[in-house]
Structure formats: structure tokens, C-alpha cells
Structure 1
Amino acid sequence: MAVNDPKTVAWVLDGPKVLAVVGLSDNPERPSYRVSAEMQRRGYRIVPVNPKGGEILGEKVYSSLREIPFPVDVVQVFRAPQYALDVVREIGEMVARPRVLWMQEGVVNDEAVAEAEALGLLTVQDRCLYKEALKAKG
């Protein structure tokens, strides 16, 4: 499998998907909030993952990926690169695994990519989902 394969990016952008956003902040000034809000406006279901709990963007916040009681299509990572491997290992514990691991712009961790691919996930790293959506559809 190839990291940042254009077919993987196109599949994510092809229409509404369920995005579990690890590290989604409730602060509207944070990139995770702004990107998630825009993807939500584009029809994507946002599933916030943050140990704080509560509600973000009108959606229940789950403290971990393992707590999400329904399938997600994409796990999007808004955490520092050193935590990406922990996210992948948590994906490995999910009952229904997502199809794609998307590590946002600035999140580069080749070890996490290798483990994600070993789990059968398609991977995107160091790319902004919102910027890719703008390029694809405007």
C-alpha cells in the first residue's frame, strides 16, 4: 500500500463518511475544530474523540476509539506525531476497524503508518483533510 495514495484521498473525499476525530478540541480557534466543522458542513458525520468527554459540534465526545459503539470510516488524527502510534494501536482494539487512518498536516510518523498498514488500513499522513476537500470540490 502507498501512503497518500490519490485513490485513498479520493475515496475519503468522494462523499459523506463517518470521521472519528482523535484530538478534536472544543476551542473554535483550534485547527481540529475548524476542519471538523467544515467537514461536518460538507455532510460528514464527526465523532469527537477526546478524554475530556462532553459534546463538540453537537456530537457526543467519546474518550477513546474503543468506546465508539458504531463503525467509522476514517480515523483522523489531530495529535502530536509521537502519539500517532498509540492511536493506531487503539484502532487495532476496535471491533469494527475503519478503512482509513488520516494523519493531519504536521503529523508524520512512519512507524504508525507501518502498523496501520499491517492492520489493513489505508493511510494518509501530513495532509489537511479540509485543504484536500477544497482542492477536490472547491
Structure 2
Amino acid sequence: MYDRLKGQVILLKNPDRTEIKEVLDNAKTIAVIGLSPNPMRTSYMVSKAMQDAGYRIIPVNPLADSILGEKSYATLQDIPESVDIVNVFRRSEFLPDIAEDFLKLDAPVFWTQLNVVDEAVFNRLSEAGYTVIMDRCIKVEHAILK
């Protein structure tokens, strides 16, 4: 994979499809960082599809009160319940700070959408024992694996 911002090749070892299916089969709640209230945005469409598939979506967007009929939270730490997957729709340069917040949450899976990649974050979270999936669309993976 090629990081357009840094102009370098990045090697990530995402879980294989069997492991990704297991992640999706076992998850119930997905916190979505950067979920837009605009139905024309990819984050909204993907999250709506996952909600329609039976997942509880928890928006993380400090500028919205609610999205997709769910209360929106300003940060991951504000979420008062457990989360199975943190799905990130922010640019790659925000991943180090998001990873710091993620480490305080105690969620088992850190997932970033297409073109959202940071090799150092991937390695740090993987080495800490978390499942990390980067540069993959959760909606596409769900559709392929259901």
C-alpha cells in the first residue's frame, strides 16, 4: 500500500478474512469517529448500512447532538458503555491522537476506513494486543463476509 501523504510504501498485516469475519460476528457496538450527520457523506452511508445490518452505532462527533437516531459524543472517553469496534473516518494524520484515546477506552478492535493509514499506530496497537484493521471499508468487508 502507498501512503500518498508521506510518499512511501507501507506494509501492514491486516487480519485475514476469517479473522475479520470473526470480529464482525462477535461485535455488537461500533463507535464511529468522524461520523457526519450529512447523509451524502461516506461515513454516514457506511454507518447507516452497518446500523441496518444490526450493529449499534455510537457517533463520535463533537459538533453533532445526534446522528442516525443515536446520541453523539464529543470523544471516545465520553461514551458510557462498552464498545466492540472503533471505526475511524478521520484523516491519517489524526491517528496518533485517536490511538491514544482508543487505548483509554478498552475496546478490542481499532478499524480505519479506506486510505486512513499510519504504520506506527498499526504496530503500536497490534503489539499491545489489539486487533487492528486499516485501509479497509467495514461495510464492504461485512457485505463480502456475511
Provide TM-score, normalisation by structure 2: 0.86
Amino acid across the alignment from 2:56: R
CA distance in 2, matches of 1:16, 1:122: 12
Residue of 52, 55, 59 corresponding to 2:70: 59
Tell me by how many angstroms 1:5 deviates.
3.2
Give ranges in structure 2 of 5+ residues lacking alignment.
Answer: 1-12
Paired positions, count: 135
Task: List, as ranges, runs of 4+ consecutive aligned residues in structure 1 with deviation greater than 6 Å.
Answer: none
Tell me by how many angstroms 1:15 deviates.
5.3
Flag the structure with larger Rg.
2
Provide TM-score, normalisation by structure 1: 0.90
| 48-57 or 14-23, larger mean C-alpha shift | 14-23
The answer on whether the counterparts of 1:8 and 1:123 sit within 8 Å (CA) in structure 2 is no
Amino acid across the alignment from 2:92: P
Give ranges in structure 1 of 5+ residues lacking alignment.
Answer: none
Report what 2:28 is aligned to.
17
The answer on whether the counterparts of 1:117 and 1:123 sit within 8 Å (CA) in structure 2 is yes
2:58 matches 1:47: yes
State how 1:68-83 maps to structure 2 within 5 Å. 68-83=79-94
| 114-123 or 64-73, larger mean C-alpha shift | 114-123
Structure 1 residues 16 and 3, CA gap change in structure 2 (3 angstroms) = closer
Report % sequence identity: 40
